[in-house]
Amino acid sequence: MMLKIILNKENIARFIFLAAAYVAVACVILICVFLFTQGVPPIAKIGLGDFLFGEKWKPSQNLYGILPMTLASIYTTVGAIVIGAPIGILTATFLSYFCPQWLYKVLKPMVNLMAGIPSIVYGFFGMAVLVPFVSYTFGGNGKALLTASILLGVMILPTIISVSESAIRSAQKSYYEGAVALGASHEISVFKVILPAAKSGIISSVILGIGRAIGETMAVVMVAGNQAIIPTDITRGARTLTSNIVIEMAEATDLHRAALIGTAVVLFVLVLIINLLFSVIKTRRKHV
């Protein structure tokens, strides 16, 4: 009898733990159900081709093509990676192989602080400092694709730095020692031996950075100009998928509102693909 009661308690606990673990699964299912049931019908109504590849977004004329926004999202993300990835990876290299201990104690918390700064603060800084800077240097009014790329490049730095740093640190130190023993200089050993060894970790840091950049909303809205036209020049304005939702959602109704939810579906699918890439690389790393 006594034994049975104890057994029950264990089982109830096990069930509660199991149920809690499935909350995440339930949330993903709920998100999919709500987004897809409300986002897919309008896409079907507009026509998948017209929606995905339509070049004009003019809700007043019932034109809902999101190609300009998709391209803008891809361009700003590529720009952010071009700017952020080399700087981030090199900074991670500095932190793990060039940095004296006392300096590391100062810089590491600074990287964490950088990750913690709210995107709205980045956006404000971009609006007040970067926009005039880009306008002055490259012409135009400064609210441009380039400005958004620079700002996103800075914003993804902490992600790239911390993930790359742990990848570089987990590369076998004996590789480095071997290279130095063979007469290579400190720099050559780090760049030719350690960085290649940490390659997959560095790549996953970049993919995480891509995910951050493509999903960022508020900071981009504040600096990108937000014209819903196909971006042709990096010094001209552009509107990303995320900005499109945030700008128009407040006053949208009917098909317009539904088309914005459709935009979120496209964004969601893009992010799922990026996540999939990330987990493929992660599992491949485990096998090595």
Partner 1 sequence: MSKSVILRSLVYLATGLTFFSLIGIVLYVLIGGIPYLSPELFSWNYNSENVSLMPSLVNTFLTVILSLVISVPIGILAAVFLIEYADLGVAAKSKIVRCFVSVIRIAADTLAGIPSIVYGLFGMLIFVTFFHWGYSLLAGGLTMAIMTLPVIQRTTEEALISVPMNYREGAFALGAGKLRTVTHVVLPTAIPGILSGVILAIGRVVGETAALIFTAGTVAQIPTSVFDSSRTLSVHMYNLSVEGLHTHEAMATGVVLLIVVVIINWLSELVANKIRPVK
Residue 61 or 286: which CB sits closer to partner 1?
Answer: 286
Query: According to the binding rule CB under 8 A, does residue 16 interact with partner 1?
Result: yes
DSSP symbol at 109: H
Residue 35 or 67: which CB sits closer to partner 1?
Answer: 35
Which tokens is 119 given? 């995107």
Residue 61 or 283: which CB sits closer to partner 1?
Answer: 283
- The residue range among 45-53, 94-102, 163-171, 230-238 that interacts with partner 1, by the rule CB under 8 A, is 94-102
Full DSSP string of 184-235: --HHHHIIIIIHHHTHHHHHHHHHHHHHHHHH--HHHHHHSB---S----TT
Question: Taking the mean position of all CA atoms in its chain, how far away is CA 217?
Answer: 11
Question: With contact defined as beta carbons under 8 Å apart, do 159 and 89 qualify?
Answer: no
Residue 107 or 197: which CB sits closer to partner 1?
Answer: 107
Query: According to the binding rule CB under 8 A, does residue 122 interact with partner 1?
Result: yes
- The residue range among 15-23, 55-63, 137-145, 165-173 that interacts with partner 1, by the rule CB under 8 A, is 15-23
Query: According to the binding rule CB under 8 A, does residue 120 interact with partner 1?
Result: yes
Site residues for partner 1, window 149-208 (CB under 8 A)? 154, 157, 161, 185-188, 190-191
Exposure string for 234-244, b = 16+ CB within 10 A, e = fewer: bbbbbbbbbbb
In the list 40, 52, 74, 218, the residue contacting partner 1 (rule: CB under 8 A) is 218
- AA letter at 206: V
Which tokens is 71 given? 């391209």
Which tokens is 176 given? 């480095």
Query: According to the binding rule CB under 8 A, does residue 133 interact with partner 1?
Result: no
3-state SS assignment for residue 65: coil
Cα–Cα separations (whole angstroms), residue 205 to 63, 98, 187, 216? 38, 20, 22, 16
Query: According to the binding rule CB under 8 A, does residue 275 interact with partner 1?
Result: yes
Question: With contact defined as beta carbons under 8 Å apart, do 259 and 64 qualify?
Answer: yes
Phi-psi region of 47 (alpha: psi -120 to 50; beta: other; left: phi over 0): left
Query: According to the binding rule CB under 8 A, does residue 128 interact with partner 1?
Result: yes
* Cα 55 to Cα 254: distance, rounded to the nearest angstrom: 21
Which tokens is 286 given? 């485990």
In the list 54, 67, 124, 236, the residue contacting partner 1 (rule: CB under 8 A) is 124
Shortest CB 232 distance to partner 1, Å: 25
Residue 172 or 279: which CB sits closer to partner 1?
Answer: 279
Query: According to the binding rule CB under 8 A, does residue 255 interact with partner 1?
Result: no
Shortest CB 79 distance to partner 1, Å: 16
Query: According to the binding rule CB under 8 A, does residue 98 interact with partner 1?
Result: yes
Query: According to the binding rule CB under 8 A, does residue 65 interact with partner 1?
Result: no
Query: According to the binding rule CB under 8 A, does residue 138 interact with partner 1?
Result: no
DSSP symbol at 142: S
* Cα 126 to Cα 147: distance, rounded to the nearest angstrom: 8
Query: According to the binding rule CB under 8 A, does residue 242 interact with partner 1?
Result: yes
Query: According to the binding rule CB under 8 A, does residue 55 interact with partner 1?
Result: no
Query: According to the binding rule CB under 8 A, does residue 272 interact with partner 1?
Result: yes
In the list 107, 229, 230, 252, the residue contacting partner 1 (rule: CB under 8 A) is 107
